[in-house]
Structure 1
Amino acid sequence: MRKTLCGVGGLALSLVASGVMAQSLTQDEIDKLGNELTPIGAEKSGNADGTIPEWTGGLPTDAGQPLEDNFYENPFANDQPEFVITAQNYQEYREKLTPGQVAMFERYPDTFQMPIYETKRTVGYPEETYEQVKRTAGQAKLVNGGDGISDFSHGSFAFPIPKSGAEVVWNHMTRARSNVKRWYMQAMPQTNGSYNLIKMEEEVGYPQYMDDVNEAEVPNTLLYFKQRVNAPARLAGNVLLVHDTLDQLKEPRMAWVYNAGQRRVRRAPQVSYDGPGTASDGMRTSDNFSMYNGAPDRYDWKLIGKKEIYVPYNAYKLTEKGVKYDDVLKAGHINPEFTRYELHRVWEVQGDVKQGQRHIYAQRNFFVDEDSWMINLADHYDGRGTLWRVGEGHIAFAYKEKLPGYALETLYDLLAGRYIALGMYTEETSAPQYDFDPSYNQFTPAALRASGVR
């Protein structure tokens, strides 16, 4: 049995930009959860013109036939695009595009396209998740201006009715997830489209779903993460271990790496912020992983408001068993034939580097799906104010597990003409395993050497 971690109505799309800290929720606000709001805080109703439908609970667990090796059937395999946005017509749709999407059309006018499909609000969660969110709503508190959170140990969706940018960011980082083991690829195509595959193996555990972990003894622990490189041979056996916390100023992230060539375990303080991502050829930072992760303390987060944007969604074409990586990975960007965009409501949050802090991204704008609190799109600006990298999180809902995730993450470097793609598993022997039942001993520095044996 899989273990799962257990807007806002009346807030107009023209919500005034705000960077203020949130106030406690009233009981009247909490009572909106599950009524005019979905149980995790999205607007339940559709939009005025009907292009975004009402949320009715998400896809049922039997939405498609079960397949072998943990793969899912594409429930929308017969869908066709309603229209396609191209470099020739994108100006007609500009109000529903992000600056990053506009920049992609201008950077790759001959090849970048966005096929637009009927919007389907497929995301839903188990009943126990909804009960937990209702029970804990209003309890979590921002620490040190949003750098961490307190009074919210081992739950999900800390701020279902957010009132600040920091709260939206924390909803992404405390979104409902599961213990998982997965095998996937990472690639950094050159400008001509050539690439080498980096084969990765990953295990993630959450304290509340690990039988040998006493939750009371690790109240500030968010998750345990282990990542091993399986190929190419020159990198095989290198392992990364991370212990993440809810308040990283109180207890900073702890990270270790095992270098197979040296056969040594070392502390890895560089695995944070803008430190280089594992085997990424400098194409992503550590905090680009999972669209954004880690301590948010280097930014001031401003809530811009809610918008209707065309976002990558229901990306089942990128999860179908047997899809060839070579068919997906093309020069400049992934093949549009494997993408699906839909109109959804998103929260926009802008992060500006704090005075006295540093990061290679001076500004980041996140576009966060209201139904899952997952970052769908991310624009990254350099110190000169130039739009530099554009991130896409192609969301697909694991309906049997009642759990959304990223079928693929892409980060496009507009200046270099290259990109990184990570998370694809369609040529692997198994899709992600959500029945993974790890022990704490798998996430200790002492276990790294054994994990890295070639």
Structure 2
Amino acid sequence: MKAMINLLFGLACSLCGLNAQAAVSSAEAQRLGQDLTPVGAVRAGNSAGTIPAWNGGLPKDAGQENQDGFLDDPFADEQPLFTITAENLAQYQENLSAGQIAMFKRYPDSYRMPVYPSHRTVALPDAVYAAIKTSALNTEAIASGNGLKGFSASRYYAFPLPQNGLEVVWNHITRYRGRTLRRSIVQVTPQVSGDYTLVRFEDKVGFPEGLKDLDAEKTANALLYYTQRVTAPARLAGNVLLVHESIDQISQPRMAWLYNAGQRRVRRAPQVAYDGPGTAADGLATMDNLDMYNGAPDRYEWRLLGKRELYIPYNNYKLESPSLKYSDIVKAGHTNQDLARYELHRVWEVEAVLKPGERHIYAKRRFFLDEDSWQIALSEQYDTRGQLWRVGQAMLIHQYKAQVPLYAFETLNDLVAGRYLAIGMKNEEKRGVEFDIDLSAAEFTPAALRNAGVR
């Protein structure tokens, strides 16, 4: 019965969304901060009491930050309520995604999910809350939903009151990640045996409102600027990727450049999109797998299937602890699930089906978005035969000092190959994520790539 209700809800929302391309009314927007949270989530808890009401999220003083930028775990003293295993899977599968169930079947002896009390920890700056209401009143979908109009007035969370699946995904794409940030992270693609080589990246992200010397008029369609520099292993060190991400990627597609340290040349990189191969991913991920999903959504038809209560990775402070080594986390088949933390939360479920005549190695995808942060927590990628191929999960964590929802790291498990990719770990790096750093627009130009790539 519950599945039927969700299906009918999803069909209704999808049909409404075909014609509803305009911003919401003032009366509808007034719900933000009242029965809905300022980001558009249901403020109340669930009827069973297993999901609490949102009470403002974690305060900035919820814990300490050490000298290297790593946060205390506010829930370090909590113990799991129970642990889901292959043996008791049937008892909990109503609150699991198909991808999670597939992981239990693929790794019945080692895969497990420790479930903890639920905490709704997301808290954003007041200025972002104000911008979200501006989005609700001004943002409209254009180009069949593949671009945005009126969004430059706010720049965060395009559709806090979504009417269809594509609008839900736009909220993930346009979510708040700080004004600028820098991080040193690692990526691994372990063999079936568990052996792996670290690939190290230095990432920088700048949003238009956080960059100095940016021509606001010329960059009105800019969503973000991104650089990714490889620092290890030696054979890849010095290669740099630069991306200019646009709001309307139909009228102005993403622009990307690659600096090859061996050739000392900067080249345009149109392959850095859709199902182009992920950087040093050993064939285990596409470009649009990064950040769980990114880029132009125009190759898919999007459906909103409804809302569900699922056990998703949440408040994974333990997995970001500098006391852990990468070898503690990276194991054969999947990352160390004993270190993970899952909580029951409400999620939006969205399905993407490849349009006729379009090309992508994933014929169908499903995404499950946390209602409090609009971050994709779980993903499923299906092949052209309709078989579940790759399962993604993001280990959600709230950076309470900076008031930024983020991931400790994300994984993509290939069920066929028995391998996976994990990216974003920083446990053994010198610093955690740095927010609100000084960045200028000049650092995100093709001319700056050569200097950035010096080994």
Q: What TM-score do you get using the length of structure 1 for normalisation?
A: 0.96
**Residue type of the partner of 2:120?**
R
Q: Which residue of 1 aligns with 2:81?
A: 82
**Residue type of the partner of 1:149?**
L
**Aligned equivalents of 2:391, 2:191: Cα separation in 1:** 16
Q: 1:119 and 1:38, CA in 2 relative to 1: closer, same or farther beyond 3 A? A: same
Answer yes or no: is the 8 Å Cα contact 2:135–2:159 preserved in 1.
no
**Residue type of the partner of 2:70?**
F
Q: Deviations over 1:241-283 (max 9, x none)?
A: 0000011111011000011111111100000000001111111
**Aligned equivalents of 2:288, 2:135: Cα separation in 1:** 27
> Which sits farther off after the overlay, 318-327 or 410-419?
318-327
Answer yes or no: is the 8 Å Cα contact 2:95–2:310 preserved in 1.
yes
**Residue type of the partner of 1:97?**
L
Shift of 1:224: 0.5
Q: Secondary structure at the residue paired with 1:376? A: strand
The unaligned stretches of length 5 or more in structure 2 are none
Answer yes or no: is the 8 Å Cα contact 2:397–2:405 preserved in 1.
yes
Mapping for residues 109-188 of structure 1, pairs under 5 Å: 109-153=108-152, 155-178=155-178, 179-188=180-189
**Aligned equivalents of 1:86, 1:136: Cα separation in 2:** 42
Q: Which residue of 1 aligns with 2:385?
A: 384
Answer yes or no: is the 8 Å Cα contact 1:183–1:431 preserved in 2.
yes
Q: Which residue of 2 aligns with 1:26?
A: 25
**Aligned equivalents of 1:47, 1:32: Cα separation in 2:** 18
Mapping for residues 265-344 of structure 1, pairs under 5 Å: 265-344=266-345
Q: Secondary structure at the residue paired with 2:257? A: strand
**Aligned equivalents of 1:342, 1:127: Cα separation in 2:** 26
Shift of 1:69: 1.0
Q: Secondary structure at the residue paired with 2:217? A: helix
**Residue type of the partner of 2:116?**
Y
Answer yes or no: is the 8 Å Cα contact 1:13–1:307 preserved in 2.
no
Mapping for residues 416-431 of structure 1, pairs under 5 Å: 416-431=417-432
> Which sits farther off after the overlay, 132-141 or 47-56?
132-141
Shift of 1:336: 1.0
Answer yes or no: is the 8 Å Cα contact 1:96–1:308 preserved in 2.
yes
Match of 2:9 among 11, 15, 19: 15
Answer yes or no: is the 8 Å Cα contact 1:272–1:287 preserved in 2.
yes
Q: Deviations over 1:396-453 (max 9, x none)?
A: 0000111110101000000000000000001000001103111111111011111111
Shift of 1:322: 2.8
Equivalent residues, number? 444
Answer yes or no: is the 8 Å Cα contact 1:207–1:214 preserved in 2.
no
Q: Deviations over 1:47-78 (max 9, x none)?
A: 00100000000001000022111111111111
Q: Which residue of 1 aligns with 2:373?
A: 372
Instruction: Kindly indicate whether residue 61 of structure 2 is the aligned counterpart of residue 62 of structure 1.
Output: yes
Q: 1:16 and 1:452, CA in 2 relative to 1: closer, same or farther beyond 3 A? A: closer
Shift of 1:144: 1.6
Answer yes or no: is the 8 Å Cα contact 2:398–2:406 preserved in 1.
yes
Answer yes or no: is the 8 Å Cα contact 1:30–1:137 preserved in 2.
yes
Q: What TM-score do you get using the length of structure 2 for normalisation?
A: 0.96
Cα root mean square deviation, aligned? 1.3
Answer yes or no: is the 8 Å Cα contact 1:13–1:306 preserved in 2.
no
Instruction: Kindly indicate whether residue 190 of structure 2 is the aligned counterpart of residue 189 of structure 1.
Output: yes
Shift of 1:135: 2.7
**Aligned equivalents of 2:311, 2:131: Cα separation in 1:** 31
Shift of 1:118: 0.3
> Which sits farther off after the overlay, 181-190 or 125-134?
125-134
Answer yes or no: is the 8 Å Cα contact 2:204–2:226 preserved in 1.
yes
Q: Secondary structure at the residue paired with 1:146? A: coil
Q: Deviations over 1:197-226 (max 9, x none)?
A: 001100111111112113222110001000
Q: Deviations over 1:309-364 (max 9, x none)?
A: 00000010111113100010000000012100000000000000011101000001
**Aligned equivalents of 1:36, 1:432: Cα separation in 2:** 33
Answer yes or no: is the 8 Å Cα contact 2:10–2:303 preserved in 1.
no
Shift of 1:14: 6.4
**Residue type of the partner of 1:93?**
Y
Q: Secondary structure at the residue paired with 1:208? A: helix
Shift of 1:134: 1.7
**Aligned equivalents of 1:243, 1:144: Cα separation in 2:** 20
**Aligned equivalents of 2:196, 2:333: Cα separation in 1:** 12
**Residue type of the partner of 2:9?**
L
Q: Secondary structure at the residue paired with 1:391? A: strand
Answer yes or no: is the 8 Å Cα contact 1:376–1:392 preserved in 2.
yes
Q: Secondary structure at the residue paired with 1:134? A: helix
Answer yes or no: is the 8 Å Cα contact 1:156–1:176 preserved in 2.
yes
**Aligned equivalents of 2:216, 2:7: Cα separation in 1:** 39
Answer yes or no: is the 8 Å Cα contact 2:155–2:223 preserved in 1.
no
Mapping for residues 208-223 of structure 1, pairs under 5 Å: 208-223=209-224
Answer yes or no: is the 8 Å Cα contact 2:80–2:115 preserved in 1.
yes
Shift of 1:284: 0.7
**Aligned equivalents of 1:66, 1:202: Cα separation in 2:** 21
**Residue type of the partner of 1:308?**
E
Q: Deviations over 1:84-107 (max 9, x none)?
A: 000001111111100000000000
Answer yes or no: is the 8 Å Cα contact 2:258–2:267 preserved in 1.
yes
Q: Which residue of 1 aligns with 2:257?
A: 256
